[in-house]
Amino acid sequence: MKQTLVDDTEDVSLDFGNEEELALRKAKIRHPVATFFHLFFRVSAIVTYVCCDWFSRSFVGCFVTVLLLLSFDFWSVKNVTGRLLVGLRWWNQIDEDGKSHWIFEARKVSPGHTAATEAEARIFWLGLVICPIIWVVFFFSTLFSLRLKWLALVIAGISLQAANLYGYILCKMGGDSDLSRVAASLLSQTVFQTVSAEV
């Protein structure tokens, strides 16, 4: 499986020169609709799954509703909110030979186009990481409570949420498919940012 990185990246660090502009960038949300929908579909799918038995006795209706919410979430995060909130996008393409190519994009920050704010990026990554963990908890609770008819839905939730998480982590790390190297790089980057913030 060959990977391609569309390299139009630019340093998007928080180096502005004056503290007022930095504080404004951290606090401001420039894409409120995208931020809302980034969390809306995934939280709605979780709430619907948890509360489904309280509001409806129809297993099929609940199953289809949660699956549609998960699908809307997958599409919107992959194609819209990722580009707007963090400037990243990924997709998989099959060429004429049947070979799979992962393609990753990172938006350049130009003077005419504003970068994502720190608040938007934090909301994006927290939503992207926390929701798959919740679906994994649902998997074990479904398995141990022997509610096996819900297992297919929970596996679909894990798959869709984890696919977006995996794609965006690879996209953030420049298309590097070695997960141990990606994890080490992400950890070192986080530690460096924490230490430099304290100094």
- DSSP secondary structure of 149-188: GGHHHHHHHHHHHHHHHHHHHHHHTTS---HHHHHHHHHH
Task: Please answer whether residues 148 and 142 qualify as being in contact, where contact means their C-beta atoms are separated by less than 8 angstroms.
Answer: yes
In tens, the pLDDT along 11-68 reads 444 444 455 554 445 556 778 888 898 899 999 999 999 998 788 888 899 999 999 9
8 Å CB contact between 89 and 82: yes
Give pLDDT, residue 14: 41
Q: Which residues contact 194 (CB under 8 A, 6 or more apart)?
A: none
Is residue 109 predicted with pLDDT exceeding 90? no
Please give the model's pTM, rounded to 2 decimal places: 0.69
Side-chain-side CA neighbours of 103 within 13 Å: the count stands at 10
Backbone angles phi, psi at 174, to 5 degrees: 80, 25
In the chain, where are the structural domains located?
2-198
Percent of the chain beyond pLDDT 70? 69
Tokens of 1: 């499986």
